[in-house]
Structure 1
């Protein structure tokens, strides 16, 4: 089985890559800093030449049986204090890039019959994320994109899934968490990767804690958003 993973050089993406490789899959990675098996590409790039080069690489290495869109960045702090360029970068990497890549895969026949597309969104799809507004917006957009593709893709034999992990013990989480935050309680990325890869349902929330948070987010969204504000926003400088 051929696997394609964006953001596969670090964090959850790297956990996907190692888990798939251990299962005997042929793993290909797209990352701004890829492994030896990967292709160097910024998912937020606005350079047409960079995307043209990616098209050629996809044609040479595809078609794929499993595509995991895991690349993502964030910007934390007071919304008005974060440069507009940072907000733009977040939406470019987390939403615009995946839309562009999926369009390339679909129109270029780079997906095998019976292929699986996994979109990695966030627990933010179930609750507000004060202090990470553009991140939450980009992940909500990605979730909406996945939901909208689900039916049409199914008719063409492609399965679409939406993964919404909570906080994980990754470099990404450490980079954007409030200063002095503990990794205790964060889900190990290899456990999240295994749970997502083994799941058959459309929406996947790895871990008991995130599942509870998602349930409470649906049940009492205002309370959960205030709680997230205390956990994240109030601790940011």
Structure 2
């Protein structure tokens, strides 16, 4: 099986890459820094048309892919008005606009019959996320994109999935968490990766705690948003 992973050099993406390699898959990684498997350097926020054209050529040469995991993502935390506008733009470029552009490339001739296309969103899709508003907006956009593609892709034999993991013990989480935050209670990326790879459901929420958070977000959205505010926003400088 050929597996393409964006953001596969570290964190959740690297955990997926390791799990796929362990079961004998051929792993291809897109990231800004070298990762496991067959690597192609690419910045999902790049405005360089030549870089995107080179990526299209590489995808055509390496594909078609049986599994694509769209894991690359960044955040910007703090008071919304204090975060530079260019940081908000980069969040949406990496997490949403770049994904849309990549999927359009893949859809043309780089997805194998029966392929799986897995979008990695966030638990933020089920609750407000004070302190990381543009991140939440980009992940909500990604979720809407995945839902909108699900039926058309199914007609072509491609299964679309939307994974919404909660906090994981990754460099990404450490970078954007409030200073001094503990990793206790965060799910290991390896465990989350295994849950996503095993699931055949459209929406995948790894772990019991995140599943309960999804339920709370649906039943008591205002209370859940206040809780998220205390967990993140109130602790940010």
Query: Does TM-score exceed 0.5, indicating one fold?
Result: yes
TM-score w.r.t. structure 2 length?
0.99
Q: Using the alignment, how far apart are the partners of 1:204 and 1:101 within structure 2?
A: 22
Check conservation: 2:14, 2:35, Cα contact below 8 A: no
TM-fit CA distance, 1:94: 0.1
Q: Verify: 1:110 aligned to 2:146, yes or no.
A: no
Cα distance between partner residues in 1 of 2:57 and 2:44: 16
Q: Which moved more, 1:27-36 or 1:60-69?
A: 27-36
CA distance in structure 2 between the partners assigned to 1:34 and 1:110 by the alignment: 22
Task: Note the residue ranges of structure 2 that are not aligned, 5 or more in a row.
Answer: none
CA distance in 2, matches of 1:32, 1:202: 29
Per-residue CA shift, 1:157-213, capped at 9, x if unaligned?
Answer: 000000000000000000000000000000000000000000010000001111000
CA distance in 2, matches of 1:35, 1:92: 21
Map residues 206-221 of structure 1 onto 2, 5 A cutoff: 206-221=206-221
Aligned positions, number: 236
User: How far is 1:224 from its partner?
Assistant: 0.2
TM-score after normalising by structure 1: 0.99
Partner residue, 2:56: 55
1:57-105: CA deviation from partner (whole Å, max 9, x where unpaired) = 1011111000000000000000000000000000000000110000001
Report the Cα offset of residue 46 of structure 1. Answer: 1.0
Tell me how far 1:34 sits from its aligned partner.
Answer: 2.3
Distance in 1 (CA, whole Å) between partners of 2:110 and 2:230 is 44
Distance 1:127 1:35 in 2: 32
**Aligned equivalent of 1:126:** 126
Measured on the aligned residues, the alpha-carbon RMSD in Å equals: 0.6
Q: Tell me which residue corresponds to 1:93.
A: 94
Q: How does 1:1-237 map to 2 (within 5 A)?
A: 1-35=1-35, 37-107=38-108, 109-237=109-237
User: 8 Å contact 2:10–2:35 — kept in the other structure?
Assistant: no
